[in-house]
Amino acid sequence: MQGRSPSSRTTTLTKLIVALPVAVLLGSGIYWYARSAPAGTALGLVEVRRGDLIVKITEPGEVRASQSVTITSRKDGPIVYVVPEGTQVKAGDVVVRFDSTQQEIALSAARVELLSAEAQLRRTQKDVEAQRQKLAAELARLEADSRVAQIELADLKKKPLRDEYEKARLELEKAKVTFEHAAKKRALLPDLVKKGFVTQGTLDEAELNHLAADAGMQAAQFNFAKIAAGATPEELEKATIKLTQTQFAFEKAQVSLKPQLDALEASIERQRADVQRAQNLIEKAKDELERTQLRAPQGGLAVYGTREGGSGKIPAGMMTWAGEGLINLPDMATMVADTEVNEIDIGKVRMGAPVEVRLEAYPGAVFRGTVIKIGTVARLKKNRAGTATSVKVFDLTVQIVEKDPRVKPGLTAILDIIVDQQKDVITVPVSAVTSRGEEHIVFVANGEKIEERTVVLGSSNDQRVVVREGLRRGERLLLEAPPAAR
């Protein structure tokens, strides 16, 4: 059945129609033979029986995965490693590796640059923090000076202060008492010196004490008068000038503080930008390094891509270019087989039709399949040399139901597409039916006679045909038409 051409495999009844150049007189002879020939003729007999009829279209095909991912090269360059073909890989596995020397050097340099930038950032942050604290301390000092000058001016305006006034008054009273005591002692001693009761030295000492007490009293009087008089215009003016100067210095420092702080922050931001640039260089270098490795986006069986010239091998050291397909990863979960059906048979095939799939690599194994795609446009069939022939075919895709490790991409398959199934019907061998014009004739062995009988046929395959009308179960037929009827 596999060796038949598409036209010989057709299930139409045209193959049953044989033009017989039979004349009318020959027909009469056949009629006489049918009534008189004994049943014990040497011609073979077959018993009419009921059974199932399966009509198939058999075509060669090739197995592939329904879903497949192609891993393409992302760069130009030589390959240093490739996963062996036929390896079952997992998602994320490295399947191809390119020379990565330059990328590793670039990554190391970027890491060194990052360390340098981070160290410089830390130094800048420390310097900026110290400068910020210095500026804050200077601002606080100027604010304190301004506040002190303000308080001093306010105190001058309040003079005489009660505490100062009382203190000066008490100092003056104390000085007066001291002076009066010294004056009395000085007044008594001259007579005592004359009388010899005290020495001249005692009198001299009393004189000195008197002068000192007088000076102390005059100083206390001056201080009391000064304090009692309050602040002088000169003191108020000096205090006002001092307050103005300290306030100006403080306000100027306040105004200049923000630009200085902004400048300090800008220096930190510049260093942060340098760190970010170094980090970006690292990420770029990592990406470039990762691009030297091609990873499997999904699990599957590694199948080498076909290069120009038909070579499917990818040896280490092979030069490749960006965008070239290197490895196919078919998803083994869903396998299909592709074939083509002759245009005279395509009308019999329907979506969902069952298919028996046989693999040349595993004789005897049969896998269940289903038609999932029928081409809508005919094309010219190509021969083995790739040249188009005059035969028109339609592409057909069959999904293989079983999940079996033996079903692998690229295997050659023989597909029996079941286009019709009839159960419990009367079938006879195709050779037992003869066509005469539009009628179909069988020869029934009835006792010792051969009866010619017209039948109505149904579906057929290469071996048997359904007889819809004209025969009963158990009847016996000639396997071939009698010689006189040929």
pLDDT class of 185 with cuts at 50, 70, 90: confident
Give pLDDT, residue 313: 65
Going from N- to C-terminal start, the domains of the chain cover 6-66+331-485, 71-98+292-328, 106-271
In the chain, how many H helices and how many E strands?
Answer: 6, 22
CA distance 228 to 29: 173
Give pLDDT, residue 312: 55
Q: Which of 402, 398, 403 is nearest to 415 (CA)?
A: 398
Which contiguous run of DSSP H or E holds residue 381? strand 379-382
**Is residue 207 classed as helix, strand or coil in its secondary structure?**
helix
pLDDT class of 9 with cuts at 50, 70, 90: very low
Q: Which of 46, 37, 29 is nearest to 449 (CA)?
A: 37
CA torsion sign for 162, 165, 171, 172 is negative
Which contiguous run of DSSP H or E holds residue 326? strand 325-330
CA distance 147 to 130: 26
User: Tokens standing for 63?
Assistant: 């197995």
Q: What is the DSSP string of 356-373?
A: EEEETTSTT-EEEEEEEE
Spacing of C-alpha 64 from chain mean position: 27
Look at residue 172 and tell me whether its pLDDT is greater than 50.
Answer: yes
Average pLDDT over residues 71-77: 83
Average pLDDT over residues 36-54: 69
pLDDT class of 485 with cuts at 50, 70, 90: low
Q: What is the DSSP string of 255-285?
A: HHHHHHHHHHHHHHHHHHHHHHHHHHHHHHH
pLDDT class of 43 with cuts at 50, 70, 90: low
Look at residue 31 and tell me whether its pLDDT is greater than 90.
Answer: no
For 398, phi and psi rounded to 5 degrees? Answer: -120, 130
DSSP state of 482: -
Fold of 71-98+292-328: OB fold (Dihydrolipoamide Acetyltransferase, E2P) (2.40.50)
**Is residue 178 classed as helix, strand or coil in its secondary structure?**
helix
Q: How far apart are the first and last CA of the chain?
A: 26
For 351, phi and psi rounded to 5 degrees? Answer: -65, 140
User: Tokens standing for 352?
Assistant: 């969902």
pLDDT class of 13 with cuts at 50, 70, 90: very low
Give pLDDT, residue 40: 37
Look at residue 349 and tell me whether its pLDDT is greater than 60.
Answer: yes
- Side-chain-side CA neighbours of residue 26 (13 Å): 10
Look at residue 25 and tell me whether its pLDDT is greater than 60.
Answer: no
Sheet holding 325-330, edge to edge: 68-72, 325-330, 303-304
Look at residue 145 and tell me whether its pLDDT is greater than 90.
Answer: yes
Taking the model in full, what pTM does it have? 0.48
CATH class for the region spanning 6-66+331-485: mainly beta
Q: Which of 416, 427, 481, 475 is nearest to 56 (CA)?
A: 416
- Cα 117–Cα 126–Cα 128 angle in degrees, nearest 5: 100
82-91, 297-306, 425-434, 439-448: lowest mean pLDDT where? Answer: 297-306
Look at residue 22 and tell me whether its pLDDT is greater than 50.
Answer: no
Residues with Cβ within 8 Å of residue 350, at least 6 apart in sequence: 371, 419
Q: What is the DSSP string of 105-151?
A: HHHHHHHHHHHHHHHHHHHHHHHHHHHHHHHHHHHHHHHHHHHHHHH
pLDDT class of 33 with cuts at 50, 70, 90: very low
Average pLDDT over residues 45-53: 90
Look at residue 216 and tell me whether its pLDDT is greater than 60.
Answer: yes
Residue 174 vs residues 177, 227, 267: alpha-carbon distances, Å: 5, 17, 67
Give the model confidence (pLDDT) of 108-134 as tens digits.
999 999 999 999 999 999 999 998 899
Give the model confidence (pLDDT) of 433-471 as tens digits.
998 888 999 999 988 888 999 999 988 888 899 999 999
Average pLDDT over residues 312-336: 80
pLDDT class of 42 with cuts at 50, 70, 90: very low
Q: Which of 448, 471, 481, 485 is nearest to 41 (CA)?
A: 448
Residue 457 vs residues 30, 52, 426: alpha-carbon distances, Å: 22, 15, 10
Residues with Cβ within 8 Å of residue 444, at least 6 apart in sequence: 450, 451, 452, 453, 471, 475, 476, 477, 478
CB 450 within 8 A of CB 33: yes
Q: What is the DSSP string of 385-453?
A: TS-EEEEEEEEEEEEE-S--TT--TT-EEEEEEEEEEEEEEEEEEGGG-EEETTEEEEEEEETTEEEEE
Residue 270 vs residues 118, 121, 132, 274, 276: alpha-carbon distances, Å: 12, 9, 17, 6, 10
Average pLDDT over residues 50-71: 89
Give pLDDT, residue 332: 79
Look at residue 19 and tell me whether its pLDDT is greater than 50.
Answer: no
Give the model confidence (pLDDT) of 227-258 as tens digits.
877 777 888 889 899 999 999 999 998 888 88
Q: Which amino acid is at 467?
A: V
